Amino acid sequence: MPNQNSPSRYGAVAQAFHWIIAALIVTQFTLGWTAQFLPLGARKVARLDWHKSFGMTILTLAVLRLLWRLFNRPPELPAGMTTIEKQLARATHALFYVLLFVMPLTGWMMSSAKNYSVSWFHQFTWPNLIGPNEQAFNLLRTTHDTLSWLLFALALLHILAALKHHFWNKDDVLKRMLPFTKTEK
């Protein structure tokens, strides 16, 4: 499989970005949502420590992924799709990219506002984006939490759409993002 995208499928780099970030997002939901139910204590601090390190990893990968995408156009959507379907698909993907940045950034700002600086796997510390501020923290936490539900809904829509394309429309939309598969053309 070539590294670059072709007109009919995603290349190895785009696929790696997609699946690694997807796996990290699943990890983030598990860590973030379960941490909420822990009492304030060492276990919660430790779980959020992982959540922050993975979050900053996603932010870094999102920057690289966006750059890769800007210089490497994705394959064309299937010819059979209507204009509205194509616009919806593009809007969904654009919103994904927005969330890939906004989720880590609001999380990073939350940590800064609470004066809990973000470490990257205990290797180095990211600078604080804003100063300690309780009101800002509360607002950011609500935003981060609300957007996590939006991201969850979007991911569900994304998965259902991929399955619909594969089993209903019987096109290459799912296969072109899967390694070890062949696409026509």
Partner 1 sequence: MKKLALAATSSLIIAAATAAAATAAAAADSAASFTAAAEQSRLEFVGVQAGAEFKGVFHKFTASVEFAPDALASSRIDVQIDMNSVDSMDKDRDTTIRSKDVFDVSHDPTAHYVTKTITKTATGFAAAGALTLRGVTKDVPIEFQFAPAGAGAKLSGSAKLNRLDFGVGQGEWKSTETIADAVKINFSLVLKPKT
Of the candidates 140, 64, 73, 50, the one whose C-alpha atom is nearest the C-alpha of residue 100 is: 64
Which residue, 124 or 167, is less far from partner 1 as judged by CB? Answer: 124
State the nearest-atom distance from the C-beta of 43 to partner 1, in Å.
Answer: 7
- Please give the Cα distance from 168 to 66 (Å, whole number): 30
State the nearest-atom distance from the C-beta of 137 to partner 1, in Å.
Answer: 9
- Please give the Cα distance from 37 to 32 (Å, whole number): 10
Which residue, 76 or 134, is less far from partner 1 as judged by CB? Answer: 134
State the nearest-atom distance from the C-beta of 147 to partner 1, in Å.
Answer: 23
Q: Angle, to 10 degrees, between the axis of helix 134-167 and the axis of helix 83-113?
A: 150
Positions that interact with partner 1 (CB under 8 A): 40-43, 45-46, 48-49, 52, 114-123, 125, 132, 134
SS3 125: strand
State the nearest-atom distance from the C-beta of 40 to partner 1, in Å.
Answer: 6
- Please give the Cα distance from 105 to 111 (Å, whole number): 10
Length of the chain: 185
Which residue, 52 or 176, is less far from partner 1 as judged by CB? Answer: 52
Which residue, 3 or 115, is less far from partner 1 as judged by CB? Answer: 115
